[in-house]
Structure formats: structure tokens, C-alpha cells
Structure 1
Amino acid sequence: MAGSSARPDPWLTVAKLLAAMVAAGVLVAGLLLPYVGGLGLAARHEATKFLDTTCNLTETPPPQKTTMYARDGKTVLATIFSQDRVPVPLASIPKALQDALVATEDRRFYQHHGVDMRGLLRSAVSTSSGDTQGGSTLTMQYVKQMRYYQAGDNLEKQRAAIAQNLNRKIEDAKCAIYIENTEHESKDQILDNYLNIAFFGENSYGIQTAAKTYFNKDAKDLTLPESTLLVGLLRAPSEYDPFVNPDAARQRRNQVLQNLVDVGKLSQSEADKYKATPISLATKKPPDVREGCANAPATIRNAAFFCEYAVNWLKTVGKITESQLDTGGLHIVTTLDADLQNSAQKNLWKSIPATSRMTAVLPVVDPKTGDVLAMATSKHYGVATSTKDRTHTTYPVFTAYSAFGASTYKLFPLLTALSTGVPDNWPLKNEEPYKPSNCLTPSETKNGDANEQYSNNETLSSATAKSSNTFFVGLADQMFGCNLQPIVAMAERLGMKGLTQTSDENAKQTVAQVIVDNQRAQQLVLGDVSTSPLELTGAYAAVANRGRFNAPSPILRITDSNGQELNVNRPASVQAISPMVALQAVQILQGDTKSPGTSATPFQKWYAQNSSEVAGKTGTSVAVIRGKDSDQNASLWFAGMTPDLVATSALINFASPNDPARDLPGVKDPGREAYGEYASGVWLDALMPSLKSRQWSWPDPQGVAGSEVPDLTGHTMSDARAMLKDAGFRFQLLDAADNVQCASKVPYGSVAFYGPSIAVQGAVITVCPSSGVAQQVYTPPPPKKTPKKTPKPTGHSSSTSNPPPSRPGGRNHGRPPGQGG
């Protein structure tokens, strides 16, 4: 009884034969009805199901690798993929491999039309369970794999795609018939599709990647034994993995060789000769999978930081989905200049060691386009190997809102003043400490720059070069009556999104709203704002580009796997400030790199051999110790400009941005001795080779295109509006919403300042009404009268003149809660 029970049930076998024929589309079940009796009803049911089933599969290319290139379009930056696949045409696949595939997986491939009834019958007879196993043609296998890949990360759809049941067999069969008989895809095309979609183990998808993985050669160069080994992997890639199970792999290879003999494609003697040969792989272990930014090729130094930035930009700004990146086979040409990246990175590593607690960050932007040309940093990209490893990081050091931008923010009140028509020689009493007279927030400001001598009066130009804290707080307090919205608006127009982040003090307000509402002039103009080095570079780049702001962007062009160009979605260029104002700012900022500017010392070596002038601005933030501002320095900054290249050098302890600076070569006590000047030296050393190959000159602000704007000073607002309209310009108040007024002696409410003074027809002219009260200016007291004395005869006479003394500033004369230069 035990033996008889082991035999298959003949009625069950007949039923499965019937189901197999129905699934194959050969509706001859009626022939079997005399033998199956009551199974006729089931046969009709399955036949009806087959007839009612339609192929809902749309063929799409299999998942392909996305490749990112440097701006030359040739140098590979990184490859991104979910499946390591490089499609190749069938002509590049050896005929012996194609024969081995057909002999092993579907011997009647060239006879059937998508579904092989004989194979399905064999499958039904050999299967003792209720499922239909095997019997699938290459076309049906291709359909199944296509469904699986199209399921993406949806596990439920993946399981349904490869389910071994009659419903799935029917669907696969219908689609196979559709592909071969309706779409009329050739057998060669189906073979091509199959070999490029199939999985060969060890992260190898498609025959080309498999050839590289196991033999380090192109598919077209595979030998017969190599081809048969790869074909053998298809049934069970893990079981026959030659790296893991070489004996099983060899046995499977030899079976495929024998299959070729069975179909007459290989003689037995040749097969025996090949069977005797050992498996010879290119390496002893599988090659590393070099996917993603972390595995960027070493041909571009430390490029993974830029790569990660570019990928994030593509997903957020460029509107490219993660699925497109992982599977779309995109060709992405980035803005990265490989030569500039390599040069800047090499020199930056010379300046700041990766072991330092401070991280040197140097983003470089083309001001004319916003292209991000380089992203050099002293840290190596990667996960730290231990708690003591300070050399590696994956933190987004270029874009994170981390350290305070310090005195680099003086750019924004400078531009606001110039845009309003305030001249570069506008004077202000340099009173230290400075106590605001208009601001709601009471705070005292001191100058924090060592080696600077501050005069009793500083001007807009001299105060910028010397980075006078007292002057710029006084500018906001007196010139604009501590109405800070125009300065905030200027910064935001130039892409400074750190001001739009949610405030730590009030979750319902942005950083900018808290500053404006509380009139915190000191916080704004001295840069007590968490800052992205890349955004700061973009702001300065707009100044170098005659006021036209191009948001920093990393992508030049994108094409899909078919060569069709996709929209990059780069933000539109915006004229954020007038060309004249931008050039006026450049002219003033050139003073920073020359005596008595705060970066003059490092730039002496530049100007000793070069006449091209660099404009820029330093910044030094204050260290916080035990919750209080200290007399030490934390982050150090320098934003430098040329007409074709703008970069920011930032030295930041990203682990603790407000801690005193440490570990800076050449400085015994960086917390007390290193300032923005140090960052300017790092900037120059990193970019010196690139700058030496360029020559440039800055245009004269008075030479910009346009017409002279009528002199509006002292006129009423209505008269000024009419005068501008008659001259072809547009009228705009500095800030109508907050009724901002500017310090001036001209009558209250009349035009105190306007700008620019030269503009093209139709341009907006910004007008600021007078407060009727001028700014504070130091006036030397009259000399004291002394009684005349009869001079003693000496045989000669002499006279001397003693001008008012200059007041020393000094970084160690007290620190503002904010920054120095």
C-alpha cells in the first residue's frame, strides 16, 4: 500500500495536463473530456480565464546605471544604480553563449511562438503539487523578470511577479504570445532583452556586467568555457557562485557544455576537453561594487562631497526622482571642474591637516553662471572609523547652516546703503563702545580686529576695509533708524536662506523675523546667523557678476538612456542689485586685500607679482565658553572675488562651531591669534595656481551702461516720482511698509538719498526719505587759546602741527557678542 500511494494520481496528472495546455493557449482540452469526465467544467473555467486574460505589460528598458561626469562630459565622477547593468547589443555577445542559453533554458526557442506546449506538458507531469513549476520559455522568463523589475521596491508586487501559480503562468504566457505574435519582436531581440535583464549573481545584472565581474573583460571577448559558466549561473546564481562554490560552479558549467553537445552545437570531444579545464576567474574574490558618491573614482580628489551635494540638488531642486537616479540610466554632466578641484584640494590639504578639529571648507563658484566649480575640504569623505578619527566625515559641510558667518555679513548693509545712494565716503563717528540710539535691543558694540587703527571718523569705504563693527552697527542704527528689513531683504535676494530658517527662540518665526522685530542690528550686520558656506559664496558671486544673482547649481545637462535631454530646472538668473551698486561694492571690497584691509598681509605675496585685484571680506566669530561670549575666536571666514571665480574659505569646528579655534598650523593659540585674515591666507594658497593663470580687471562703476538719474536730493516724494517718470525710470521707496527714513540734514520727508545714480531706462531707483537728523560725526574741538609769550631769541624758529590722534582698535580690546573681521 505504501508503494502504491507513492505513485501520482492519474486523474490529477490529467487535470494538470489540461491546465498546462490551457495556459499554453492550445485549447484542445475537449480531446481529453472523455477521459476526465467531471473535469470538463474546470477545463472550461480555465479556458475562459485564459481567453479573458490580457497582457497588461508595457516593456520598458531594464534598470540601468546613472553616470555622473565632471564638466568635461568625459571624466566619470560617480555611478549610481540599484542594479549594476550596462546594456550591450546582441552583436556584442558571442554566438556560443547564445547557443548555450537556448540549449539550457529553452531548446525549442526558435520553433515556438512565445509559449512551448511540450515544455508545459513536461512541467505538469513532473510536478506533484498544485503549482505549475518550470516550463517557461525564454520569452516568458523575460516577461517575469520585466514584471519583477517594474515592481521597484514594492515587495508585494515583486512577490506577485515571480509567483509560481497558474494565474501568473497564464499572464506570462499571454504576454509572451503578445510580444512574439502581436509586437512581432524577433528572436534576436528577445535574446538581447533577456541577456541584458538577467541576474548573474554577485550584483551583476546583464551579461556585460557579469563578464566584468567574473572575468574582467567585455562580453564580446568571452571564451566558450566562460560563456557556459555564466549561462549556468542563471538557474541559481548563489548556488553556483564560482567565488563561493567553485566545485558546484564547475559541475554546472560542464552540464551546460553537455547541453551544447545534446543539441549538436558542440562535439563530445570538444566538450570533454573544456570540461577538464579549471574555472579561471579574474580575481580571487568578487570586485567591490563601486556604486554611489562614496565610491567616486580617485581621479578627482575628494569628489564625494560634491557628488552628494549634486545628488541632493537633483532630488530637491532638479526634480529628478530617486528612482530615476537609481534605474534611469541617466547621463549627468555636472559643473565640477576636475582640474580646479584637484588643485584646490591638494593645496587645501597642505594648509589644514585632516586631523585638525577645524575643518577647512572651500566652495568655488563661477559668478557668471552660478556653476559650482569645486568643493574642496580638509576632511576626507567617509564614516569615521572610531571616536578618535577626526579625518573623515559625511556631514554636508558646504551647505549646512552651522557656524556664524560673522563680518562677512557686512556685505548686506554695505549693499543696502549703496543701493540707497549712500556715498562711499559717508562718514560716521567711530565711538567705542557704540551704544545704539534707535534700536530696541540695548547692546554695546566694540571693534574686535587686532592690528587695525580706527580713526575718529570712518567712512563706508574705510570701515569696510577695516571691518569696523561699531561703524556698521551705527550705520544700521543711525542711517536706517534700526529698521532692518531692507538689509534682511538684500541678504535674502542674494540667496541667504539661513535667515529664513526657523528661529531657535520662537518656532513660529524665522531668524530674520526675530531680528527685525527686536531690532537686533548687531546680530544682523555682524553675522550672528548660522551660515552655509556655499550660500555665502553665491551672494558674493552676485556682486562679482554686476549684481546678477545665479543660485549656485551643480548640473549642466541631463540626458536619459535614449539620449533625450531632460530639463535641468536650474533657478532663473535674477538682477538682485544694480550693476553700478555691485561695482561700487567691488571697488570698496578691494580695500580688504590691501593695507589697511583685514586680509592685506596674506595678499602681499599676491600683489608682489600680480596686478589683478581680488575683492573680498573677512569674518571672525566669537567663541562661546560656558554659555557666555569670550575673548576668543571660533570660526574664521574669507569670501574672495574675481570676475570669473568666487570662493569662500571657512574654518569651522563642525562638532562644536562656537568652541575656540584649535589646531591651525603656524598659530600657537588660534583662539586668540587667528582671525579672518588666517582664512584669507588659506583661500589664497588653495587657489593660487588657478589665479596665476588668469588676468582680470574690474570695470569702473561710473562706466556702466545707462543714463544719469536726475538729482532728487531735497525734493519731495511726489516731485521725485514725477522727475523719475519723466526721465524714464521707476520710483521705489527703500521700504514703504516700515516707513524707513535715512539720516540726513535735508528737510524731513524730502529725498535724503537715491540710487543708483546711473541706470538703464526703465530701471527702479530706490529713494529714501530724510529723517531730518544727520548721523553723528566727530568734529575736532577748536584749539585752545594760550597766552602769547615773548619768545627767547634762539637764532632760529620752528613750528609743529599735531593732528587729532587715531584711536587704536585691537582685537584684544574687548569682543562684541558677534564677530570681528
Structure 2
Amino acid sequence: MRKFILSSIILALITCHMGFTWSLPRIEVPQASVVYDVNGEAIKGLGEQNRINIELSEMPDYFIKAIIAVEDKNFYQHHGIDMAGIFRAIYVNIRERKIVEGGSTITQQTAKNLFLSNERTFLRKFKELFYALELERQYSKDEILTMYCNTIYFGQGAYGIEVAARTFFGKSARDLSLAESALLAGIPRWPSNYDPYINPEAAKKRQLVVLQRMQEEGYIDQESKARAAEEKLQYEKTTYIKGEAPYFIALVKDYLSKKYGEQMIYQGGLKVYTSLDLYMQRAANQALQSGLEAYDPNLQAALVAVDSGNGGIRALIGGRDYASSTFNRVFSKRQPGSTFKPFMYSLALYSGFTAADKIMCEEVEYELPNGDIYRPTDYGKEPYHWREFTLKEAVMKSDNVVAVRVNSILGPTAAASYAEKFGFSNIQPVLSLPLGASEVRPIDMALAYAVFANRGLYSNANYILKVTDRNGKVLEENRPQQRRVIGEDNAYIITNILEGVLEAGGTGAHLRNVFGDRIAAGKTGTTDEFKDAWFVGFTPRISCAVWVGYDKNRDVNISGGVIAGPIWANFIEGASRRLAEGDFYRPDNIRLLNICLDSGLVASESCPRQVEMAFVEGSEPEDICYEHREENEGSLDDGIFPWWQSWSP
């Protein structure tokens, strides 16, 4: 009698449901939005859960059969509700006077995962039945099974089979073995109890239950079951689950939330195509991790790389560990040290200077507007070199006194205004401007240096390329925005100067041991009292800024070339492996000449210190240096002298 009454109630509910919903529009199954990198590889779902949706064809057949055998063996026979299972569950729940057994089919569980909470009430159960019937009416069995496998919870923060496979076995779902599939299929019934990391014995017992059910249903034979039961499982978490680009994902999520709302992110199924390159991001992660592993755990860092040609963010790390600090230092202002010098020297070229012009490094003082006396000094034990530098060597050696003297000649106001053309704001017109007096962001430094690689064109930062809805309709599509900042010849000459930093005699020459003969240019930077360490540089394809320091302005006590430089070099080496080799564009009006660093004239064979320099045609030195000819006549050595042997005041 009891069964008859319960059966009648359920049939009445079904009838009512069909009567009220038959003409309703197709329900939209909530889908987490997905972010893709520039090559179409999924980075991470943007839902509230850690979930990556995959197709049924991407799931191993073993797992599909295991989940059906252990959760709902009649899945392909019923219409969403298993009457025998419901009667059994109702009887037990009435007897216990509380919800203790569900009797839910895979369709019901899918309905609960998609539309309902986990509250254990009769009202929620009735809602589950309605949604289950609606799912069966509008979707095929395979579609429902796909939804289920992508939404079930496996513990360890993993939702769906793809994330579960990566969480417990460090691999994609398609690569799971029978033994691994059976273990995962057993977890959803009680995730906390069957977690193999926490309770491996319970997980193993549950796996054996799943294998037994699979054999009983005829999915596997005795021999396969025995081999799977004996297989030793290796548990491993892939770094993918933590997120290979958490700071970048947070940036994307914030943008989407403001423009489309959080509900659209979590349930709208947006497809977000970005500029990030996961291959480069992995290279950045490795470079930062290896570069800082021997240092204080509280020491922070930021790395951002952009496409030199269009400003697209290719890699981004906003801190050492996103789990402990979500603050994105890529957008935090810090003093850049000598990495700011190229912008002032670009103005010097525009104003008529050449790379071969010479400026004396000696003690000099300036009276400031407030009456104070400013005396610039050089890095190192000796505050002055007491000799002349060509502008190129001054940059290669990072001479501070020469930079300040050139800035004084140009005028700090003019230099500050000129620097802001490169995308900076609030640059202070002070004499120490080229030494990094004004605070800037790593992202702005990467974009500004890209101007030199990109023929003088500035590109706005961009990271969202296209957004579509779940049906493929384009909601927005963004193109690079560029403007000319400097001429092509100016850009090339600065690039040539910065290439010298990475050559013999430059402050970054040691980095060649990391990335070999790859074409690159860059600049070291260290602020007063060693509070900030920088390296900013570029190749024809990538511009990258690396900052290392403490959040609370503690002294790093290490120069930029020593700690930030190797991180930059390792990133460039790794990120460039898949990129075609190329050179910087050289305008037709540029001439390359070997210049004697002592005289600033065209070098002869006798000049011991010479370097290639770039000039706008007509501005190059016309005279040849004969200063060292007599000194080297009759010499038995190789003709290479330290500067102090060949220099005279």
C-alpha cells in the first residue's frame, strides 16, 4: 500500500511537470567560462569551482564505464528517475526520519550539481526530480553524462574528471589507465573519506569495489580486474591545478566581472581568448622559481613580458606565490634605477648627440632649487671614473655621472616630458631622472622598451583578444592600439647601445652565458641602498621587465645585474626556443662603424678598445683614430690594453 501511494505521488508529479514544462524554452545549463591562451590552449576555467570542461570523447572509456557501474548501472535504460532506487531511498529516509540515502540517478545528480544546493531536504529532492526530467527531455544521454563527469566533485578542490586526473595523477583524463579510472570513479560518493592523499587504504578498498561492479556489469573480465587491482598507483599533482598564470587569470577575471558581471563568468560559458602564451608563461615560472630559490622567502619579484610588436601580454607573474599574496606587483610602482636611462639618451640623440660623443665622468655638483647641493656619483667603490665616456660606453658601464650631466644639458623638464611619451605618467623633472627618481610599473617598463624593438612605435598593453558567448557569438574583439613615439633611426641607435650592455664590457655581459648568442638588448638597474633590483630588455619578438625587491622597502643588498638579470636571461632563453630567429630592423639611413672608445673616432686596427656603434648617415665621425698607433708599434702582445694604458687626458 505504501509503495502504491508513493508511486502515485511520483507519477502525479511527473504528469504535472510535463503539463507545465512541455512548452517551456530549452533550459540553459550553467557553464563556467574558459580562458584560452594565444595558441588556443585552455588556461583555466573561470567558474567558482576549479573545473575544466571536456567532451565525452576526451574521457577514457574505462572511466565512463566505471562511473556508470558504480553510480547508475541503468543510466541508459531509465528516463532520468530510477523508480526502484527512489522507493528504496524513501523507505530508508522515512524509517530514519531524515535524509540519509539519495537513490539518485546520474541525471538527478547532474541536476543537483547544476541547479541546486547540497541541502538534504524533501523540497530539494522534489526539485531535483523536476530538473532531472527536464534534462532528459532536452538533452541526450551522452550529453547528460558529459555534464555529470564535468561537474562531480572529487575532493582536493577538483571538479570534473579532467581536473581530478591532473590533481591525483598529474595527467590529462584521456591518459588514465583502468586502475586510475576506477579509483577516481569511486571518490565522488564520499570525497573526504576516499581521498588517496589523506586515506589511501580507504581509497584502495573503494577502487576494488568499483572494479568488482565493472566486472559484474560485463565491462571488464577477471584478468583485467586483477591487473588493475595489482597496479601500483603514483599520486602526483600537476602545477596546472594551482594555476600556471594565477595573476593573469585574476586580471582577466576582474575585467570580465566589471564588463559582464560575475554571473556571466560563472554560468555564462564565455570563451575568452587572450594574448598569454602558456609556453612563455611556463618559462617565466621556471626562471623566477630557479632564480629566487636560494634567497629569502620574503623577497618578492615580478616579471612581465609583452610582444614587442603589438603589446600583447605573453607572460605575467605578479609575485612569488599567489596563494600567499594576490597583490600583483606588475602594476605596482617602484623606482627603476638605471633602467630609466635609455629614455633620456633617446632625447639626447633627438637633440643632436651621437653614440660616439664624449662626456667626462668627474666630480660635479649642482645647486638645486631649494638650495641643496646635488653631487651624483657612480656605483661601486670609486664614486668617479675620472675619464671621458662615449655615450654608448656610458650606458654599457651604467655611468651615473655622465647620465646626470647629459640630463643637465638637455634640461630635466624636457627629459621628463619626453619620457612620458613612452607611456609613463608623473615623471619628475629632476636632475636624477635618468637614475630612476620617479616610480614606474614593471608593465610600463616592458612596454616602453618594446618601443625600441618596434621601430619607435608604442603599443598599449592588451590581453583580451576576443570574447564569445557559449554559442560562439562575438561579444568583443580587440586590436592593438599603437602610436609613433620616436623615429625608426632613433629606436635602432638606442637598441644598438643597449645591445652593448650584453656584450664584453657591459654590466650584463655575464648573462650571455645563459642565453648564448641570441640577439637581445637590455639594461640593469639598481636603486639607492639596493631597495629595488631590475633588468629590462628585449629581443626582436619579446620585451620583458623583471623587478626584485621587498614589499616594505627593505634593502635587497644585491644589484639588478646579479639577481634580476639571470631571471630575465633564463626567461628569454626558454621563451625564445619556439620563436624564429630574427634581427632588429635597421633603417636604410643607419651606418654601423667601429668606434674607438678612447677617442670617439673611427677605430683603426691599433685601437685596443673599440665597439660597433650606429649613426644616422651624415652624423658619424669622419676622422680615423691614430692615437694608439705609436703605442702599439713593435708590441709583441695581442694589442688589447686596459683603458688606463691607452688613455691620456
The interval holding the TM-score normalised by the smaller chain is: 0.5 to 0.7
Alignment partner of 2:431: what SS?
Answer: helix
User: TM-score, normalised to structure 2's length?
Assistant: 0.63
Alignment partner of 2:343: what SS?
Answer: helix
Offset, 1:468: 5.5
Partner residue of 1:249? 206
The question of 1:699 aligning with 2:637 is answered no
Distance 2:573 2:526 in 1: 23
Distance 2:590 2:492 in 1: 10
User: TM-score, normalised to structure 1's length?
Assistant: 0.52
Closer, same or farther in 2 for the Cα pair 1:602/1:120, shift >3 Å? closer
Closer, same or farther in 2 for the Cα pair 1:440/1:643, shift >3 Å? farther
Distance 2:278 2:188 in 1: 42
Is the CA contact 1:345–1:376 (under 8 Å) kept in the aligned structure 2?
no
Alignment partner of 2:528: what SS?
Answer: strand
- 1:718-729 equivalences under 5 Å are none
Closer, same or farther in 2 for the Cα pair 1:275/1:371, shift >3 Å? closer
Partner residue of 2:341? 410
Distance 1:605 1:203 in 2: 42
Q: Which among 445, 452, 471 is matched to residue 375 of structure 2?
A: 445
Q: Which among 498, 517, 527 is matched to residue 621 of structure 1?
A: 527
Is the CA contact 2:167–2:238 (under 8 Å) kept in the aligned structure 1?
no
Give the unaligned 5+ runs of structure 2: 592-615, 618-646
Letter in 2 for 1:139: T
The question of 1:494 aligning with 2:422 is answered yes
Partner residue of 1:141? 109
Distance 1:194 1:605 in 2: 52
Letter in 2 for 1:444: Y
The question of 1:401 aligning with 2:352 is answered no
Offset, 1:396: 5.9
Partner residue of 1:22? 12
Alignment partner of 2:238: what SS?
Answer: coil
Alignment partner of 1:574: what SS?
Answer: strand
Offset, 1:536: 2.1
Letter in 1 for 2:453: A
Q: Which among 292, 311, 314 is matched to residue 252 of structure 2?
A: 314
Partner residue of 2:28? 59
Distance 1:348 1:221 in 2: 30
Percent identical pairs in the alignment equals: 21
Partner residue of 1:811? none
Alignment partner of 2:28: what SS?
Answer: coil
Moved more, 539-548 or 582-591: 582-591
Offset, 1:556: 7.4
Letter in 2 for 1:172: E
Closer, same or farther in 2 for the Cα pair 1:602/1:79, shift >3 Å? same
Offset, 1:539: 1.3
Distance 1:293 1:340 in 2: 15
Is the CA contact 2:533–2:563 (under 8 Å) kept in the aligned structure 1?
yes
Alignment partner of 2:364: what SS?
Answer: coil
Is the CA contact 2:377–2:400 (under 8 Å) kept in the aligned structure 1?
yes
Partner residue of 1:712? none
Is the CA contact 1:436–1:443 (under 8 Å) kept in the aligned structure 2?
yes
Offset, 1:60: 2.3
Letter in 1 for 2:422: L
Closer, same or farther in 2 for the Cα pair 1:455/1:78, shift >3 Å? same
Closer, same or farther in 2 for the Cα pair 1:487/1:203, shift >3 Å? same
Partner residue of 1:544? 453
Distance 2:315 2:67 in 1: 50
Letter in 2 for 1:370: G
Distance 2:281 2:76 in 1: 55
Alignment partner of 2:294: what SS?
Answer: coil
Partner residue of 1:433? 364
The question of 1:654 aligning with 2:550 is answered yes
- 1:800-819 equivalences under 5 Å are none
Letter in 1 for 2:333: Y
Letter in 2 for 1:494: F
Distance 2:289 2:120 in 1: 56
Is the CA contact 1:85–1:209 (under 8 Å) kept in the aligned structure 2?
yes
Q: Deviations over 1:431-488 (max 9, x none)?
A: 8433247x457441323256865568x88778666656455545555644x5x3x544
Give the unaligned 5+ runs of structure 1: 1-9, 28-46, 149-157, 296-303, 385-392, 501-511, 624-632, 663-673, 705-756, 759-804, 808-821
Distance 1:96 1:345 in 2: 33
Letter in 2 for 1:315: K
Closer, same or farther in 2 for the Cα pair 1:325/1:68, shift >3 Å? farther
Partner residue of 2:238? 290
The question of 1:355 aligning with 2:294 is answered yes
Offset, 1:527: 0.9
Distance 1:360 1:279 in 2: 46
- 1:684-695 equivalences under 5 Å are none
Offset, 1:703: 6.2
Distance 1:339 1:52 in 2: 50
Partner residue of 1:576? 485
Is the CA contact 1:371–1:552 (under 8 Å) kept in the aligned structure 2?
yes
The question of 1:87 aligning with 2:26 is answered no
Letter in 2 for 1:355: A
Letter in 1 for 2:229: S
Is the CA contact 1:20–1:120 (under 8 Å) kept in the aligned structure 2?
no
Closer, same or farther in 2 for the Cα pair 1:188/1:542, shift >3 Å? closer
Distance 2:560 2:89 in 1: 79
Is the CA contact 2:304–2:317 (under 8 Å) kept in the aligned structure 1?
yes
Alignment partner of 1:25: what SS?
Answer: helix
Q: Deviations over 1:54-111 (max 9, x none)?
A: 97983326558x6876x7667x988888345553427967599659848964759635
Q: Deviations over 1:464-514 (max 9, x none)?
A: 66656455545555644x5x3x54444344234xx56xxxxxxxxxxx4xx
Letter in 2 for 1:110: Q
Letter in 1 for 2:308: P
Distance 1:682 1:276 in 2: 49
Partner residue of 2:127? 171
Letter in 1 for 2:586: P
Offset, 1:542: 0.7
Partner residue of 1:626? none
Letter in 2 for 1:491: A
Distance 2:54 2:512 in 1: 56
Q: Deviations over 1:325-350 (max 9, x none)?
A: 8886968676548589759967996x
Distance 2:506 2:398 in 1: 7
Distance 1:208 1:461 in 2: 54
Distance 2:539 2:370 in 1: 39
- 1:299-698 equivalences under 5 Å are 307-316=245-254, 335-336=276-277, 338=279, 354-356=293-295, 365-371=306-312, 400-402=332-334, 404-416=335-347, 418-419=349-350, 421-424=351-354, 432-436=363-367, 439=369, 442-448=372-378, 453=385, 469=400, 472-473=403-404, 479-480=410-411, 484=413, 487-496=415-424, 512=427, 515=428, 521-551=430-460, 569=478, 572-586=481-495, 599=507, 616-623=522-529, 635=532, 637=534, 639-647=536-544, 652-654=548-550, 659=555, 661-662=557-558, 696=583
Offset, 1:549: 1.7
Alignment partner of 1:522: what SS?
Answer: coil
Q: RMSD of aligned C-alpha atoms? A: 6.2
Offset, 1:546: 1.8
Partner residue of 2:77? 110
Distance 1:324 1:214 in 2: 30
Letter in 2 for 1:59: E
Letter in 2 for 1:576: V
Q: How many residues align?
A: 578
Partner residue of 1:708? none
Alignment partner of 1:546: what SS?
Answer: coil
Is the CA contact 2:508–2:524 (under 8 Å) kept in the aligned structure 1?
no
Closer, same or farther in 2 for the Cα pair 1:114/1:411, shift >3 Å? same
